[in-house]
Chain A
């Protein structure tokens, strides 16, 4: 498989559930990102990882917990979410955070919180 993959593509969860989103990049990149795309709102950067280290947390609530075990994998752990957290969650990767390299996006996970 090539590019950036995300699983699952769709997820429905209750407010008391715990779930995780997975992202994997096959591009040899060193930086990975989580974005949130809500209807009628601009894309929001959530987290940035550079060489497995978190370099940015854009004031994201603690009910979202990222994990980056290596440069190819990125997770977003979800717990006690709210209905307003329903959105498309996009993962991206680039050659090196802080450079002008282009970010490549995965297809996203469509999350619905009931």
Chain B
């Protein structure tokens, strides 16, 4: 079945370091891909999305490119801040199945 796999955390890094969170998916067809972020005590917020191969989603300094050949959607940020500390979820959506499938989430802790 369809699934999303992302690296387990926690990921701990210093302010201004580079962040990469790997995400791969398995699906038949061509899903839309999302990154959501969950700050402490809050619900999920859409961070960025891409709906077709080679699309790049970007927001708040984060980027992810839809790579069909490697079935990946890795999240990157060149210089993180303490305020980026959160749990990040990769997800895929297929209209045919009417389902948004999430990865397990990756906790990121940025230290000053």
Contacts and interface: CB of A to CB of B under 8 A. Distances in A.
Interface residues of B, number: 21
A98 B102 CA distance: 17
B77 interface: no
A42 B98 contact: no
Of the listed residues B32, B49, B89, B100, the one surrounded by the most CB atoms of chain A closer than 10 A to its CB is: B100
A45 B98 CA distance: 11
Given A105-B45, A108-B43, A42 B95 contact: no
Contact of B100 (A55, A103, A106, A108): A103
A59 to B, nearest CB: 13
Contacts of B32: 100
Interface residues of A, number: 22
Contacts of B93: 100, 103
A105 B51 contact: no
A45 B42 contact: no
Contact of A106 (B34, B36, B43, B102): B43
Nearest to B87: A37
Contacts of B82: none
Given A42-B103, A43-B89, A102-B46, A48 B34 contact: no
Contacts of B44: 90, 92, 105
Interface string A82-114: 000000001010000111101111111000000
Interface of B: 32, 34, 36, 41-46, 49, 51, 89, 93, 95, 98-100, 102-105
24 contacts: A4-B43, A6-B43, A41-B104, A42-B103, A43-B102, A45-B99, A48-B98, A90-B43, A92-B44, A98-B95, A99-B95, A100-B51, A100-B93, A102-B34, A102-B46, A102-B49, A104-B46, A105-B36, A105-B44, A105-B45, A107-B41, A107-B42, A107-B43, A108-B42
